[in-house]
Structure 1
Amino acid sequence: MDHVMPLLVETLFGFFVLFVVTKVLGKTQIRQLTAFDFIAALILGELVGNALFDDEYGLFEIGFAVFLWGALLYITEIITQKFKRTRALFEGKPTIIIHKGKLQREAMAKSKLDINQLQHLLRAKGAFSVTEVDYAVLETDGTVSVLKKSLDQNPSRKDFNLMEEKVTLSMTLVCDGEIFLDNLSEANLDQQWLDNELKKQKINSIKDVFYAEYKEGEALHVQAY
C-alpha cells in the first residue's frame, strides 16, 4: 500500500504530461501517423512507462523526459514547415504505385508493398479490382489514395447496365510468376485455359507474369515483368 499512492500520483502526472504534449504537437500526430511519428509515439510511451515503474525516478524525471522529447518533436515539426526539403527526410514522400492502370513494380518493391497488401488497401477504398484503378498513391501514413477509371476509360464495363450488373469479385490467378491454383479452381478454370489466355497476349511462360487477374465476363488482365 505504501507504493500505491506514489504510483497513482506518477500515473496521473504522466497522463497529464502526455496529454499536454499531444495537444501541443497537434492532431496531425494522430491522424497522419508517419513512420517517424510512430517511433516518436512509442518512445513517449516507453519513457513514461519506465519512469512509472522505476523507483529511482519521480515526477521531475517523468516530466523532464517527456517534455524534452516533446520539445524535440515540436522543433522537428517547425523545421518541416519552414524548410520544405526536410519533409522527405522526416515525413517521407508519397509514391505512385499504379500509373495509368499499370502496377509500378519497382515502386512497390521499394515501399515493401506486395500484391496482397495492395489489394487490401484498394478494397478499403472501394476498389475490388486493380482494373478499376487508374492511379493509386501510397501516402506517407501507409494509406492509399485511389483515382478510379471512368466508364469511358474502362470499356469492358461500359456496355453493362449498371443498375442490373451482376456483382462479381475479381480473383488473382498469377502473382510474381506463381499460379494461385485454389483461385483457378474456384473460378472453374484450369491451367490450360490460363496458358491459352496468356498466349493470346503473347506471353509464353507463367514466370513472365507479374500479375494476372480474372473477373467473370471480362478479359484476363495481365501485367508482365
Structure 2
Amino acid sequence: MGYLYTGIELVIGFIALFVLTKMLGKTQITQITTFDFISALVLGELVGNALYDDKTHFGKILFSIFLWGMLIYIIEFITQKFKSTRKLLEGEPTIIIRKGKIDRQAMKKSKLDINQLQHLLRAKDVFSIQDVEYAILETDGKVSVLKKSDAASLTRKDMKLPPEETSIPITIIIDGELLKDNLKQTGHNSQWLEKQLHAHGISKIKDVLYAEYKEGEPLYVQKF
C-alpha cells in the first residue's frame, strides 16, 4: 500500500504541476527570471514534501500548489496590465557594453564579472569583446549582442575570398590583474606588454579593466 499511495501522490502532483504550467504560460519556462526560479523551487519542494513526509497531508499540499500558482498568475497579470510595475516585479534589461566599451558600473550592479561576461558572449558565438558594439543583460540572465558593423556575419565565402586561418582571442588582463599564463601563450613577454600599454597611455597594469590579444591585430585595451 505504501508504494501505491506514493504512486498516486506522484501522479496527482504531476497533473497538478502540469495544469499549473499550462495556466501560467510558456514564458515561465523559456524566459525564467529570478522570481520564476524561486517559484519553481518552492513548487518542487511542496510536491516533495507530499511524497516523502508522512505527516504532511497531500490535500494541503495540493491546495498550497494552486494557491502559489494563483499568486504567480496574479503577479503576471499585474505586470501585463500595469507597465509601471514591471521594473519592480520583473526587473529590467541592463546595457553592460555600450558603444564597444564595458560599462563597469552596470557590471557591478548586475553582480557580473568579466569571466562570466565572456562566457555569456561565447554562448552567442562572440569570442572577442572588441567585436561587440552593444551587449544587453536580459532579465532572464541571458545576453543579447549587437556586433560592430565590421564584425557582422558576412563570410569570406560570400565575398568569394579564400579561407583564412582563425585564432581565438586571448585575455591578458582582467580587473587590473595580469594573466601570466595567457601572456605566455601569446608568445610575448612583459616588456612587450609594457610597450603596448604605453602606446595606450597606460603606465600600470592595475589601471586596465580588460586587455585582449588577437593575432595580427593591435592589443585591445580598456581602462577602468
Q: TM-score, normalization: structure 1?
A: 0.93
What corresponds to 2:99 in structure 1? 100
User: C-alpha separation between the residues in 1 aligned to 2:33 and 2:164?
Assistant: 40
- Does residue 1:85 correspond to 2:60, yes or no? no
User: C-alpha separation between the residues in 1 aligned to 2:172 and 2:19?
Assistant: 51
Cα deviation code 1:31-72 (max 9, x no counterpart): 000000000000000011112222233332121010000000
User: C-alpha separation between the residues in 2 aligned to 1:187 and 1:54?
Assistant: 58
Call closer, same or farther: CA 1:27–1:56 in 2, change over 3 Å: same
- Does residue 1:171 correspond to 2:170, yes or no? yes
Superposition deviation, residue 162 in structure 1: 6.0
User: C-alpha separation between the residues in 2 aligned to 1:163 and 1:204?
Assistant: 41
Cα deviation code 1:152-208 (max 9, x no counterpart): 89xxxxxx9964332011111001111010010011011110011000111011110
User: Does the Cα contact within 8 Å between 1:10 and 1:58 map onto a contact in 2?
Assistant: no
What corresponds to 1:201 in structure 2? 200
What corresponds to 2:62 in structure 1? 63
What corresponds to 1:45 in structure 2? 44
Q: Which amino acid is 2:204 matched to?
A: S
What corresponds to 1:183 in structure 2? 182
User: C-alpha separation between the residues in 2 aligned to 1:64 and 1:8?
Assistant: 19
Identity %: 58
Unaligned 5+ segments in structure 1 are 154-159
User: C-alpha separation between the residues in 1 aligned to 2:42 and 2:67?
Assistant: 12
Within 5 A, what are the aligned runs for 1:23-42?
23-42=22-41
Three-state SS of the structure 2 residue aligned to 1:197 is helix
Three-state SS of the structure 1 residue aligned to 2:121 is helix
Structure 1 residue ranges, 4+ long, deviating more than 4 angstroms after superposition: 160-163
Within 5 A, what are the aligned runs for 1:119-138?
119-138=118-137
Unaligned 5+ segments in structure 2 are 153-158
Q: Which amino acid is 2:105 matched to?
A: E
User: Does the Cα contact within 8 Å between 1:101 and 1:133 map onto a contact in 2?
Assistant: yes
User: Does the Cα contact within 8 Å between 1:174 and 1:180 map onto a contact in 2?
Assistant: yes
Q: Which amino acid is 2:132 matched to?
A: V
User: Does the Cα contact within 8 Å between 2:120 and 2:143 map onto a contact in 1?
Assistant: yes
Q: Which amino acid is 2:31 matched to?
A: Q
User: C-alpha separation between the residues in 1 aligned to 2:43 and 2:178?
Assistant: 45
Within 5 A, what are the aligned runs for 1:126-165?
126-151=125-150, 163-165=162-164
Three-state SS of the structure 2 residue aligned to 1:173 is strand
Three-state SS of the structure 2 residue aligned to 1:151 is helix
What corresponds to 2:155 in structure 1? none
Call closer, same or farther: CA 1:93–1:208 in 2, change over 3 Å: same
User: C-alpha separation between the residues in 1 aligned to 2:181 and 2:151?
Assistant: 33
Three-state SS of the structure 1 residue aligned to 2:136 is strand
Call closer, same or farther: CA 1:166–1:5 in 2, change over 3 Å: same
When the two chains are superposed, the root-mean-square deviation of aligned CA atoms in Å is 1.6
Q: Which amino acid is 2:4 matched to?
A: M
